C-alpha cells in the first residue's frame, strides 16, 4: 500500500449554540459550548488514520492547550506526528463558530500557527515527505507554500490531490502540478468563473481545469456523488442514500477515502465509489472527525448497498 502525506491546517473549532445572533454591542446568553478538532488538513489526516492508512501529517500547532489536545487526538487516530511542529509564541489555529436555532452560522477563523507553514517548513520536513507517495493539500495554509510544495513534489514524481477549499482563485501554474482536483460546485465556480447551474456547466468547468493542466477533475456533488472529468471522458459516479445528520467535513472524508483507495491500488472509478461511501457515512453522525468511519464500517456499508 502506498504511503500518504497530508500537508495542511490544524484548527480547534470553538462552537457556541445560541437562539439568535447578538446585535452589535449586545450580550446574550448561549445554550451550549463545545470544542472539536478541525481544520481541513487535520480532518483528512484523521479520516485516513481511521481507515488504517499509513499517513503522515505535516502542519503546525501553537504552544497552547489546544495544541496539546490536537496532538493527542492525531495520535489516538493513528496519524504519524513527525511532521507536526509546535510553534512557540503563536496560538493554534482557531475557528470561532456561532450556530443559531435555524442552523445558520457565523464563523471567524484565526490562522495562528497554520499561517507559519512556509517554504522553510516544507524544506525542514522534506526528508519525511520524499518517502511518501500520495499527497493531499487544501487551501487553509499560505497559498505560496502550497504552490512551492506541489511543484517540488511533482518534480519528485509524487501524486498530488488538491481540495481547493476554502474557495479562492488560484494561480495558473498550480494546475500543471495537480493529478486530481476535487472541487464542489461553489469551488468550481470560483476557480473557473463559470456559473454552475446543471451538469453541462459542471462538465464545462471540468474541461476548463483540464485545459489549465489538471490531469483529472473529480467534481463533488454531495448526495448525487461525484463526476469524473478527464481530457476524453465524463463519468457520473452515483452517491449513496443515507439519512444525513451533520455534513461537516463530508468533503474532507471524501478526499481521504479517495486517497486511501488509490493507495490500495484501486482504479479511479472504484476509488471515487469508495470516497462516496466514506463521505456518506461521515454525515450520519454528529461532529466532523468523530463521525469518520473505519475501513470495516465502509466495507460493510458498501456490501449492504450493493446487495
201 among known catalytic residues:
no
Q: Rounded to a whole number, what is the distance in angstroms from the first to the last CA of the chain?
A: 28
Q: Among positive and negative, which fits the CA dihedral 183, 186, 187, 192?
A: positive
Q: Which residue of the set 13, 64, 163, 252 is catalytic?
A: 252
Range list of H helices, 77-160 = 119-124, 126-129, 143-155
- Among residues 54, 74, 79, 78, the alpha carbon closest in space to that of 133 is found at 54
Quick check: 274 and 305 in contact, CB under 8 A? no
Q: What residues have CB less than 8 Å from 32, skipping those under 6 apart?
A: 15, 16, 17
For residues 50 and 77, the answer to whether their CB atoms sit within 8 Å is: yes
Q: At 197, list the grid cell.
A: 447551474
Ranges assigned E (strand) in 111-232? 134-137, 159-162, 180-181, 216-220, 225-230
Q: Find, among 178, 182, 184, the residue nearest to 214 by Cα.
A: 178
Distance, CA of 303 to CA of 190 (rounded, Å): 37
Tell how far CA 276 is from the center of its chain.
14
Q: How far is CA 55 from its chain centroid? A: 14
Provide the annotated active-site residues. 252
Amino acid at each position: 500500500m502506498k504511503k500518504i502525506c497530508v500537508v495542511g491546517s490544524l484548527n480547534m473549532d470553538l462552537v457556541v449554540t445560541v437562539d439568535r445572533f447578538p446585535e452589535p454591542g449586545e450580550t446574550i446568553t448561549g445554550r451550549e459550548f463545545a470544542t472539536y478538532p478541525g481544520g481541513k488538513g487535520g480532518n483528512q489526516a484523521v479520516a485516513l488514520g481511521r481507515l488504517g492508512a499509513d499517513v503522515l501529517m505535516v502542519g503546525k500547532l501553537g504552544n497552547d492547550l489546544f495544541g496539546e489536545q490536537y496532538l493527542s487526538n492525531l495520535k489516538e487516530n493513528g496519524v504519524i506526528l513527525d511532521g507536526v511542529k509546535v510553534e512557540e509564541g503563536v496560538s493554534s489555529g482557531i475557528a470561532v463558530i456561532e450556530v443559531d436555532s435555524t442552523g445558520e452560522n457565523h464563523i471567524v477563523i484565526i490562522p495562528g500557527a497554520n499561517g507559519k507553514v512556509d517554504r522553510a517548513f516544507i524544506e525542514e520536513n522534506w526528508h519525511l515527505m520524499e518517502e511518501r507517495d500520495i499527497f493531499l493539500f487544501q487551501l487553509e495554509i499560505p497559498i505560496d507554500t502550497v504552490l512551492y510544495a506541489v511543484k517540488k513534489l511533482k518534480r519528485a514524481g509524487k501524486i498530488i490531490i488538491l481540495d481547493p477549499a476554502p474557495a479562492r482563485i488560484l494561480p495558473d501554474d498550480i494546475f500543471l502540478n495537480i493529478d486530481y482536483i476535487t472541487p464542489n460546485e461553489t469551488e468550481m465556480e470560483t476557480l473557473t468563473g463559470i456559473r454552475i447551474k446543471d451538469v453541462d456547466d459542471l462538465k464545462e468547468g471540468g474541461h476548463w481545469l483540464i485545459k489549465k493542466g489538471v490531469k483529472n477533475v473529480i467534481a463533488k456533488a454531495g448526495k448525487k456523488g461525484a463526476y469524473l472529468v478527464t481530457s476524453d471522458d465524463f463519468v457520473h459516479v452515483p452517491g449513496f442514500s443515507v439519512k444525513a445528520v451533520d455534513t461537516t467535513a463530508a468533503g474532507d472524508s471524501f478526499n481521504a477515502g479517495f486517497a486511501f483507495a488509490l493507495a490500495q491500488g484501486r482504479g479511479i472509478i472504484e476509488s471515487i465509489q469508495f470516497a462516496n461511501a466514506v463521505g456518506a457515512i461521515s454525515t450520519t453522525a454528529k461532529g466532523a472527525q468523530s463521525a469518520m468511519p473505519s475501513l470495516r464500517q465502509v466495507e460493510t456499508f458498501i456490501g449492504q448497498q450493493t446487495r
